């Protein structure tokens, strides 16, 4: 650009202008090769993003590798942003309060999370989806879709899932009327299944099924306009099979939930399947790798974390806790 302006202003040739300005003449004929190399990758990336509009870069990169396109992750991320395929996500508000500890799951069929998700047809009639997920393998044994799902229908759906996948040792569930009914309690007692109810108003205690419900709504229910109950059942079941067999999960990356369940081996540390994930992977950023050092002194933690950060910036050591005013006066 500069060479062209100088040539136009002083009517000089390219050789003299480059010599005056100190430019190499090869830069005037350089053709960028990156767009040519990226052209073959843009098309399959756009196709996968259109087929899975709620997938981010990690899962798209995983899918490209499964289809034989082995490229660098950062290259896929750069093209993902250039194509404008980014999925906007609203940041979650997190409270720095201690949570109620839940039992650690160490093997499949130890705990199933169950819940409901609601939607409506094009006619406005309401439909409900009974969702189930295994806390260990993150595999969904089944999804039931109907206009009404009383406790009897929930029992029939669970019986079909148990016949195909085996019986769980316990069920993690909320305090809905379907789960608090006498029929459901009697069925669980006859089956020898423990019912672990969460505290009222504490859905975080059943976090695995809540996370699964968000995927059901985001990737399936919000992506389709159901004209009938049969269409809803078809699309929900097709999405469940794709979720189990053609979609990696954070806890078992890079395997799908079904692949992880088939190759499952108990952890020697007994800390559950989350510790089988390799540190430093793309899905490692949102995993919980245990309690942060220093949290035991301050469970609510924000004031202490700010104080420790300010001490590190100023180079001062963290002030020790005094033993009392009398001890300070005697010193």
Domain boundary among 64, 82, 100: 82
State the greatest distance between any 2 C-alpha atoms of the chain, in Å, as a whole number.
Answer: 97
- One domain for residues 40 and 125: no
pLDDT at position 139 over 90: yes
Round to whole Å and give the CA distance between 92 and 284. Answer: 18
> Considering the domain boundaries, does residue 269 fall inside one?
yes
- One domain for residues 152 and 245: yes
User: What is the CATH classification number for the domain harbouring 181?
Assistant: 3.30.420.10
- The closest alpha carbon to 145, from 167, 123, 121, 176, belongs to 121
> Considering the domain boundaries, does residue 4 fall inside one?
no
* Burial (CB count within 10 angstroms: exposed 0-12, middle 13-18, buried 19+), residue 128: middle
* 287 three-class SS: coil
> Considering the domain boundaries, does residue 265 fall inside one?
yes
More confident position, 280 or 181: 181
Task: State the pLDDT confidence band at 104, using cuts at 50, 70 and 90.
Answer: confident
Round to whole Å and give the CA distance between 185 and 188. Answer: 5
Start-to-end CA distance of the chain, whole Å, equals: 75
Q: What is the pLDDT of residue 166?
A: 94
Task: State the pLDDT confidence band at 307, using cuts at 50, 70 and 90.
Answer: very low
- One domain for residues 68 and 214: no
Task: State the pLDDT confidence band at 86, using cuts at 50, 70 and 90.
Answer: confident
Q: What is the pLDDT of residue 33?
A: 67
Q: How many other CB atoms are there within 10 angstroms of residue 58's CB atom?
A: 19
> Considering the domain boundaries, does residue 327 fall inside one?
no
* 115 three-class SS: strand
Paired strand residues for 118? 128
pTM above the 0.75 mark? no
- One domain for residues 256 and 185: yes
CA 302 to chain centre: 26
- One domain for residues 131 and 173: yes
Q: Which of 26-40, 167-181, 304-318 has the highest mean pLDDT?
A: 167-181
Q: How many other CB atoms are there within 10 angstroms of residue 256's CB atom?
A: 23
DSSP calls for 30-45: ----HHHHHHHHHHHH
Cβ(221)–Cβ(117) below 8 Å: yes
- One domain for residues 50 and 183: no
Lowest mean pLDDT among 46-50, 87-91, 243-247, 277-281: 277-281
- One domain for residues 125 and 266: yes
> Considering the domain boundaries, does residue 185 fall inside one?
yes
> Considering the domain boundaries, does residue 207 fall inside one?
yes
Q: How many other CB atoms are there within 10 angstroms of residue 49's CB atom?
A: 21
Mean pLDDT (whole number) for 298-317? 45
More confident position, 27 or 81: 81
Q: Which domain holds residue 67?
A: 34-82
- One domain for residues 180 and 63: no
Burial 311-320 (b: 16+ CB within 10 A, else e): eeeeeeeeee
- One domain for residues 170 and 253: yes
Q: What is the pLDDT of residue 90?
A: 62
> Considering the domain boundaries, does residue 228 fall inside one?
yes
Please list the helix, strand and coil fractions of the chain in percent, rounded to the nearest 5, in that order. 50, 10, 45
- One domain for residues 65 and 185: no
Query: Residues for the chain: how many in total?
Result: 331
- One domain for residues 61 and 135: no
For 226-269, the pLDDT digits (tens) are: 999 999 999 999 999 999 999 888 888 788 999 999 998 876 55
For 261-303, the pLDDT digits (tens) are: 999 887 655 544 443 444 344 444 443 433 333 333 333 444 4
Q: How many distinct structural domains can be found in the chain?
A: 2
Q: What is the pLDDT of residue 92?
A: 59
- One domain for residues 143 and 216: yes
Q: What is the pLDDT of residue 287?
A: 38
> Considering the domain boundaries, does residue 59 fall inside one?
yes
- The closest alpha carbon to 134, from 91, 154, 105, 103, belongs to 105
DSSP calls for 90-108: PPPP---------PPP-ST
């Amino acid at each position: 650009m500069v060479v062209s302006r100088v040539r136009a202003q002083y009517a000089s040739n390219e050789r003299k202008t480059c010599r005056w300005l100190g430019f190499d003449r090869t830069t005037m004929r350089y053709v960028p090769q990156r767009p040519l190399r990226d052209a073959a990758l843009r098309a399959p990336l756009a196709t996968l993003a259109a087929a899975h509009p709620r997938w981010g870069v990690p899962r798209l990169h995983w899918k490209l590798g499964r289809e034989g396109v082995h490229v660098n992750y950062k290259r896929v991320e750069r093209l993902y942003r250039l194509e404008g395929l980014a999925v906007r996500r609203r940041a979650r508000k997190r409270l720095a309060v201690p949570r109620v500890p839940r039992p650690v799951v160490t093997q499949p069929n130890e705990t199933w999370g169950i819940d409901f998700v609601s939607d409506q047809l094009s006619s406005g009639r309401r439909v409900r989806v009974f969702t189930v997920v295994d806390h260990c393998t993150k595999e969904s044994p089944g999804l039931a879709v109907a206009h009404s799902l009383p406790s009897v229908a929930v029992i029939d759906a669970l019986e079909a899932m148990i016949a195909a996948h085996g019986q769980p040792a316990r069920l993690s569930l909320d305090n809905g009327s379907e789960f608090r009914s006498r029929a459901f309690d009697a069925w669980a007692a006859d089956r020898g299944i423990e019912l672990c109810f969460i505290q009222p108003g504490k859905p975080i205690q059943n976090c695995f099924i809540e996370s699964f419900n968000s995927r059901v709504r985001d990737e399936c229910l919000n992506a389709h306009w159901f004209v009938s109950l049969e269409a809803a059942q078809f699309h929900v079941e097709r999405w469940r099979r794709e979720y189990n067999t053609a979609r990696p999960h954070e806890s078992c990356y890079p395997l799908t939930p079904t692949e992880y369940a088939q190759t499952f081996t108990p952890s020697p540390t007994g800390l559950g399947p989350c510790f089988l994930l390799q540190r430093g992977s793309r899905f490692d950023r949102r995993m919980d790798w245990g309690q942060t050092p220093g949290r035991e002194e301050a469970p609510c933690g924000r004031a202490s974390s700010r104080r420790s950060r300010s001490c590190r910036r100023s180079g001062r050591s963290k002030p020790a806790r005094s033993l009392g005013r009398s001890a300070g006066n005697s010193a």
